[in-house]
Structure 1
């Protein structure tokens, strides 16, 4: 009953956040999600900030539940990710092979692939560059005595919050908790803090850069920040005719409701992941036993989804429906993480956190602007704001900024950005537990070496791909002249 009422309170905070977003203009201009707004309402008016004078008297055991929820709910969120990947069956591969065209079509696909690889390399350089900066500053703070009780993974929260958003706070907490690190709740709270600053800062900085670029003539289709429709700012669609459908009903209610089926598929895969982890721990398998549960979940679901695709059962899963389920869990995870944020513990690190966010923010602005301008020709600014948005906030922030400069998505920026982001997300899932594991077991020096190596590899990839792209363009120009 406590769990049910605790969730009811979280639901109340979400509804309050929804109303405030719909009514307050400054919240609309910041595009803050209702989960973030409602979470801060619960934090500021609850016992974490006000103590015995709390306006909203949240019981202490609820705060404990809320602190644990992000690490639990992130499991089904991650488990839903594989359903967005297209695994082709043998029959589909044969059909596509028969339809492949030679000549110019291959060159076109080759150029598109190069642009995607360039985007992937840039995203890796910036996102992993966050960790390089954060871990390096961790080392400096420790050696100079700026922080007396610094923990091994301090500094990774800036990259996790900026490039991962509020939902990543649950991943950080779950991962450190699985490693039996006592500071997991503090790290989770610090990640919430950096995610909030990054989300707000990314939108504001992005709008300023767009206005400057428009005056300098860098944009191709600019219609300005005011082009956003009012319903997008308010967070709801009152016009019934414009309201979009939830998703496709792939099953019939006489057997099982579609939403129930998709939820059962995601939670069933999560259950198999838990069972697999328990089995590994029972036999005390080295290294693998310390892998966090969400990593097992994504591997299990990739296998399940691949098998379903090979059996030509992909039709029974609707992508938008699984996405909505993932969003549902994420909203509750975010509001729970913010309401339970250990403010006092986070404030003890406020000076180094602020320094880190300033340095990482400056690096993100410069890298997004310079790398896209250097390695792209047309539509370089459109690509740069998408990169800026996702490395300050989340994927949707990049989409929002891109929509400001390319309202109808006529440029190839959206394709490059979305595909490059997807590939980078796969790398991030691998790097996340690996980086934390190295930092905890081997120390800051080894962790810094790891992330620096990944950034250097991405730089090499960027140089190789861009050089090949230049040669391809020159070859096409020669062929045009010959014709």
Structure 2
């Protein structure tokens, strides 16, 4: 694969993002449901690629015709296949960089109710996914038992986690799982935004919201996703003189150090496993663990060291977020563009059952558990967790900003703090990455009971501790 093809692949993703943005601005139906430009661009690439346009050409003109693989060169598609696995480490390494790590007590007091609700939903996705797989999908459809983890990987983890685990799926003999997870992530994001908007409208009509009273009067620039010139915030601060080092280059380098620290930590853990329980029992878990959750740990360690030793405050959080957003947009486009519709078609009924189970559990949990676990401003604070549980942190942030645009309920602050006690473990964290090898090594039933026990603990904490406050 030549450097020119890698460059062309990146340029094409940029063009797809611009086309997706134009569609969002031009057509009100996409504005109404706040669909991101990256998802629209990804769908365009999927339609023009070998799975849709290429197959239509192949059926009409033969598989040897010029466009039987779609409009994109094969090397471009190969490059897009590798991008998600690389970019997910960038995204996770940036989660806590440039953000002062508060003590656990402050986090717990500020965001404890949302942590308990979010954890309950996440572990519930494992519980109901594993139950569905054990009772129906494996015995009747012959699907791999690891499918029980797909709801949490696709919904809580999103496109990044789903694509990042593709190598793990292949290593464990369930290669189709990556495409199913990415498909679920796409269903989750789209249905999360659509149902989130519907829930907001219903809540307004039933007087359940404390801030928003008319969601239909959102400003046009908000619908189009364009910030007015006078309201545009800075994208980041110049923390260094460009003649010494370009600030953007510095921040990219710092992210690289965090990823490298995560890689070193992963290799150390694999080595420890190989000379201890791995050698004693022939059980390998950490060998199948991907890099990205350890890249997040590397970012946390690096940030703690900077907090203790750094005196120049060279990391700007807004600059880090811009890099994170760039990686996420490119990841989503490339992941959807290379999605295998054939795999989803061959497993359509199991895929549909998994999607419906995940959506149903998330909606029921939000309607019945959020008001009982979040004692104050439950809707504004819970709607963010609902959006995140459907596949994207950005979707959760967007729903919070619709329900509480001025931040009067502190939902945004609590949502941010929540990630410190949420993402290290689930939603793409260590257990999300380890769930596949755990099911592979021990089977789905023990993991089901483990997830059920953890879900019940968080449920009790949320209802009987925070819910009573």
Q: Which has the larger radius of gyration?
A: 1
Contact 2:137 2:350 in 1 (8 A): no
State the partner residue of 1:325: 323
User: Does residue 1:261 correspond to 2:238, yes or no?
Assistant: no
Distance 1:57 1:290 in 2: 35
Aligned with 1:183 (options 174, 182, 187): 174
State the partner residue of 1:58: 72
Distance 2:53 2:144 in 1: 27
Contact 2:172 2:437 in 1 (8 A): no
* Alpha-carbon offset, residue 379 of structure 1: 2.0
Residues 174 and 245 of structure 1: is their aligned pair in 2 closer, same or farther, counting only changes over 3 Å?
farther
Contact 1:139 1:444 in 2 (8 A): yes
Distance 1:17 1:399 in 2: 20
State the partner residue of 1:431: 431
Aligned with 1:162 (options 130, 155, 166): 155
State the partner residue of 2:442: 442
Contact 1:166 1:196 in 2 (8 A): yes
Aligned with 1:199 (options 184, 189, 210): 189
* Alpha-carbon offset, residue 367 of structure 1: 1.2
State the partner residue of 1:97: none
Aligned with 1:383 (options 345, 363, 381): 381
State the partner residue of 1:139: 134
TM-score w.r.t. structure 1 length? 0.84
State the partner residue of 2:299: 301
User: Does residue 1:128 correspond to 2:123, yes or no?
Assistant: yes
TM-score w.r.t. structure 2 length? 0.86
Kindly provide the CA deviation profile for residues 423-462 of structure 1, in whole angstroms up to 9, marking residues without a partner as x: 2112211221232221121111122122212212212322
Distance 1:340 1:9 in 2: 14
Residue correspondences, number:
443
Alignment of 1:214-225 (within 5 A): 214-225=204-215
State the partner residue of 2:399: 401
User: Does residue 1:211 correspond to 2:201, yes or no?
Assistant: yes
State the partner residue of 2:29: 26
Contact 2:387 2:396 in 1 (8 A): yes
Distance 1:312 1:356 in 2: 47
Alignment of 1:10-89 (within 5 A): 10-51=13-54, 53=57, 54=67, 56-87=70-101
SS of the equivalent of 1:31 reads coil
SS of the equivalent of 2:96 reads helix
Distance 2:38 2:200 in 1: 27
Contact 1:114 1:465 in 2 (8 A): no
Contact 1:72 1:174 in 2 (8 A): no
Kindly provide the CA deviation profile for residues 89-118 of structure 1, in whole angstroms up to 9, marking residues without a partner as x: xxxx9xxxxxxxxxxxxxxx99x9556212
State the partner residue of 1:243: 232
User: Does residue 1:315 correspond to 2:313, yes or no?
Assistant: yes
* Alpha-carbon offset, residue 198 of structure 1: 1.8
* Alpha-carbon offset, residue 398 of structure 1: 2.4
Residues 308 and 378 of structure 1: is their aligned pair in 2 closer, same or farther, counting only changes over 3 Å?
closer
Contact 2:114 2:382 in 1 (8 A): no
Residues 87 and 367 of structure 1: is their aligned pair in 2 closer, same or farther, counting only changes over 3 Å?
closer
Residues 401 and 271 of structure 1: is their aligned pair in 2 closer, same or farther, counting only changes over 3 Å?
closer
Quote the RMSD (CA, aligned, Å). Answer: 2.6
* Alpha-carbon offset, residue 387 of structure 1: 2.9
Contact 2:24 2:224 in 1 (8 A): yes
Kindly provide the CA deviation profile for residues 174-193 of structure 1, in whole angstroms up to 9, marking residues without a partner as x: 4435xx13434x32222222
Kindly provide the CA deviation profile for residues 13-56 of structure 1, in whole angstroms up to 9, marking residues without a partner as x: 22221221221211111211111111110111122223262595
